[in-house]
Chains A and B, each alone.
Chain A
């Protein structure tokens, strides 16, 4: 069965620090990859997605992610975080069926 691993469960950063959240998946075939964010009390919101083409994808709010097929990874990055980035971040994979497989999430706390 497909699985998604997010190794960092909790991350604490100061404003302006750089962010990288790890995401690895287990599936040997073609995948669609997603990062979702959930701000406190709000719905899950799509940050960015990868289907094909350029492995470096840019999303909203200055986030980007790089798909490295050989490493089965899709890490999320942001050069300089803000206090408003405090949220929970979920990596998800779709392998061709109408369902997403999610990682356990990473809680990011950005201190002002």
Chain B
């Protein structure tokens, strides 16, 4: 069973470009979470999604950031018009329904976004 797969592992963008980060959850997992780790900080929750639904986006910046988890395909975190402050590591995690109550999340290796 492959783990949570994130791609790309490293992404370089210039200011004003768009960044698309992909996350394929573990097989059988229907719940996806995105976290951001700024330099010298801990991981901060951004958004929690189920298939085709955003459940909790309380950690998402109000502008330029969006996330989706379609019926088919990976979850996508999209950042429009990136700025230098968006440079960070973005981690995706997934959970199966059976482990939701205990909030056990399985993490990917992260995508490191660098904005020039």
Contacts and interface: CB of A to CB of B under 8 A. Distances in A.
Nearest to A39: B109
A102 B102 contact: no
Given A97-B56, A104-B42, A51 B109 contact: no
Contacts of B43: 90, 92, 100, 102
B100 A98 contact: yes
Given A90-B43, A99-B56, A102-B44, A46 B104 contact: yes
A99 B59 contact: yes
Interface in B43-85: 43-45, 48, 55-56, 59
A109 interface: no
Interface residues of A, number: 24
A103 B91 CA distance: 15
B44 to A, nearest CB: 7
A95 to B, nearest CB: 9
A102 B93 CA distance: 14
Contact of B109 (A36, A43, A103, A105): A43
Nearest to B92: A43
Interface of B: 3-4, 31, 33, 35, 40-45, 48, 55-56, 59, 91, 93, 100, 102-110
20 contacts: A43-B107, A44-B91, A44-B93, A45-B107, A46-B104, A51-B102, A90-B42, A97-B56, A98-B48, A98-B103, A99-B45, A99-B48, A100-B33, A100-B43, A100-B103, A101-B45, A102-B42, A102-B44, A103-B42, A104-B40
